[in-house]
Amino acid sequence: MAARIVIGETDTEVASTLCDFVVDKANKAIKENGQFTVGVSGGSLAKFLCKGLPKNTTDWSKWRIFFCDERHVPYDNPECTYQIYLSGLVRKVNMAESNIFPINPDLTVEEAANDYLKKIRTVFPGDSIPRFDMLLLGMGPDGHTCSLFPGHPLLQESSKIVVPISDSPKPPPSRVTMTYPIINNCACAVFASCGASKAEMVQRVLEGNEKSPLPAARVQPTNGELVWFLDKAAAANLKAH
């Protein structure tokens, strides 16, 4: 399915439109299934969500928040994405901390990935590939998403759904990340990218037809929606807009 592209004037407008969209989907999922299963990312996306989500109305007790990727660092390290959501969202909206699922940085990165799969299985029991209601993704200026980097062998991972990476080209080097089998099984994949530094990659990902697609271009839910939220600067090179 082709991506739906939503362009805002500024990053503030993008954050607000994105968060309204997320909460609308969350409230629908809660009404239909009693819970909202969502994977979140770090970087600029975490800032958008922590800014906009607490202003919205939803039943936070029904949210189950996982990480599309996480840095393998202690919780008090400024690189830890979990900490950003804990202080910027979970504690602000008085959500039970048991409803957000961090990786365990006290384990080795390999053990942490296996342990994370077990945590996902507490909400998605059985052996089939979990189908998240929504995965909220960012894209780095090199076209990476989650901790899946251009040219990295993990782009080819087809059986494991959560894996360790110890040679991330973007620091910190050790991380745990979801892979395409689980990413592309979600009901709705959402990207948010803002700023001129993303414009070239946004154009390549959304309009390029590359032999070896960039990591963000490989996010193509097989039976779900794909939505990109951009500001004008990030959308500047798009030919069709």
Which residues of this protein are in contact with ligand LXAUTJHC, per CB under 6 A? 41-45, 69, 138, 140, 147, 170
CB of 43 to ligand LXAUTJHC, least distance (A): 2
CB of 73 to ligand LXAUTJHC, least distance (A): 11
Residue pair 106/10 in contact (Cβ under 8 Å)? The answer is: no
For ligand LXAUTJHC, give the closer residue by CB, 79 or 225.
79
Choose between 171 and 208: whose C-beta lies nearer to ligand LXAUTJHC: 171
**Which of 43, 150 has the CB closer to ligand LXAUTJHC?**
43
**Residue with the closest Cβ to ligand LXAUTJHC?**
43
How far apart CA 35 and CA 62 sit, in angstroms, is 5
> Smallest gap, in angstroms, from Cβ of residue 55 to ligand LXAUTJHC?
21
Min separation Cβ 140 and ligand LXAUTJHC, Å: 4
Amino acid at 24: D
**Terminal Cα distance for the chain, rounded:** 18
Nearer to ligand LXAUTJHC, 68 or 90 (CB): 68
Tell the burial category of 98 from Cβ atoms under 10 Å away from its Cβ (0-12, 13-18, 19+). Answer: exposed
CA distances (Å), origin 2, targets 88, 223, 224, 235, 239: 33, 12, 10, 16, 15
CA distance 21 to 229: 10
